[in-house]
Amino acid sequence: MKKISPKIVAMTRSHIPACSDIVASSEPWKSLRETVDFLPSIKRKQAFVALIEGAVAGFVVFTQEPVFARGGYLRAIGVAPAIRGFGIGKFLMDFAEKATAKHAPNFFLCVSSFNRAAQAFYRKNGYKKVGKIDGLIRKGASEYIYWKKLR
């Protein structure tokens, strides 16, 4: 079996269709019937893609600089459905954490209460649930705040 070797590059407009396809098939966006507007994050240099042999395998959008409690913030992360479980999400999270650690000692994210797979992923990668906001995005659901100390 060939080893997967992703390469992370800054997201460009040409990557948006593939990233939008990932969003359309992923939680929480699928349940919420929402999309992601990548353009503002591209302009701020906060969006990156993982490429495998030139194809988009996943994306991560985050703010490295402290935006809350001396921490950066993960805005969105997604991996192409066909290659989930091969470490692309961890690869993207490691990239975001290393970049953020240069500017902030903490990293935060929100995850929907119904998105249990994402919650498990974040816990597995060292994040702790530190808060909850009821009804922020959808009535009857909560957004959990997760935190990780980077340095």
Residue 49 carries which side chain, given as an amino acid letter? V
Instruction: Check whether 124 has a pLDDT greater than 70.
Output: yes
User: Is pLDDT above 90 for 12?
Assistant: yes
Please give the average per-residue pLDDT across 88-95, as a whole number: 97
Cα distances (Å, whole numbers) of residue 18 to 41, 69, 101: 16, 33, 28
Whether residue 39 is predicted with pLDDT greater than 50 in this model: the reply is yes
Give percent of the chain above pLDDT 70: 97
Question: Quick one: pLDDT at residue 5?
Answer: 80
Structure tokens at 97: 């954490």
Q: How much is the pLDDT for 8?
A: 98
Per-residue confidence (pLDDT) for residue 135, from 0 to 100: 83
| Domains of the chain, each with CATH number or no CATH | 7-149 (3.40.630.30)
Contact indicator for 71, 147 with CB cutoff of 8 Å: yes
Q: Is the pLDDT of residue 1 over 50?
A: no
Per-residue pLDDT at 43: 96
For the cut 90, the answer to whether the pLDDT of residue 22 exceeds it is yes
* pLDDT value at residue 2: 57
